[in-house]
Amino acid sequence: MEKEVKNSLNWKEIGQRFRDLRRGNNYTQSHISELSSQQRGNIP
C-alpha cells in the first residue's frame, strides 16, 4: 500500500511572509483587522 502524503503547511513561514507583506504596505495589525471586518460585512 502506498503512503498517503500529508498536506503540511509551514505556518511559521506563512506567518513571516504575511508579516513582511503587511509591513511592506505599511499596515498595522489593527488596520488589517479593520479591513477584515469591513469585508465580512460585504459577504451576502
pLDDT of 17 > 80? The answer is yes
* Euclidean distance between CA atoms 41 and 39, whole angstroms: 5
pLDDT band for 1, please (50, 70, 90 cuts).
Answer: very low
How many Å separate Cα 38 from the centre of its chain?
A: 16
The residue that leads in pLDDT, 17 or 2, is 17
Q: Per the confidence metrics, is the pTM higher than 0.85?
A: no
Give the model confidence (pLDDT) of 19-29 as tens digits.
Answer: 999 999 999 98
CB 16 within 8 A of CB 24: no
Q: Name the nearest CA neighbour of 32 among 11, 17, 18.
A: 18
* Euclidean distance between CA atoms 43 and 39, whole angstroms: 7
pLDDT of 40 > 60? The answer is yes
pLDDT of 10 > 60? The answer is yes
Could you say which DSSP state residue 42 is in?
T
